[in-house]
Amino acid sequence: MEKKLELYGTGWCTKSAVIRNFLQSEWIEFEDFNVEEDSDAEEKVRNLYDGELKFPTLIYGNQHLKNPTIAELKAFLKSNNIN
């Protein structure tokens, strides 16, 4: 099964919107999950952070990145050959 980049955030979170807009502007495919509307997505994120809900979180395979800057996001994408 092919890995997909996943974004976990909310509709009101400015940082989630910035990351979402960046990925779209770079034509990078990703799945977008709203942790307030999707209980499975909320649980997945809480499992990464000892029960805490932290977003935005990006997941690719078994790696995750919490609340990245655009520079950190670019490095994460490059290290995973996502472009």
Q: pLDDT per residue over 27-52, tens digit each?
A: 999 999 999 999 999 999 999 999 99
DSSP designation for 5: -
**What's the burial of 16, exposed, middle or buried (CB within 10 Å: 0-12/13-18/19+)?**
buried
Kindly state whether residue 52 falls inside one of the protein's structural domains: yes
* pLDDT score for 3: 85
pTM: 0.94
Q: Look-up: residue for tokens 């919107």? A: 17
How many separate domains does the chain show? Answer: 1
pLDDT at 1 over 70: no
Kindly state whether residue 1 falls inside one of the protein's structural domains: no
Kindly state whether residue 67 falls inside one of the protein's structural domains: yes
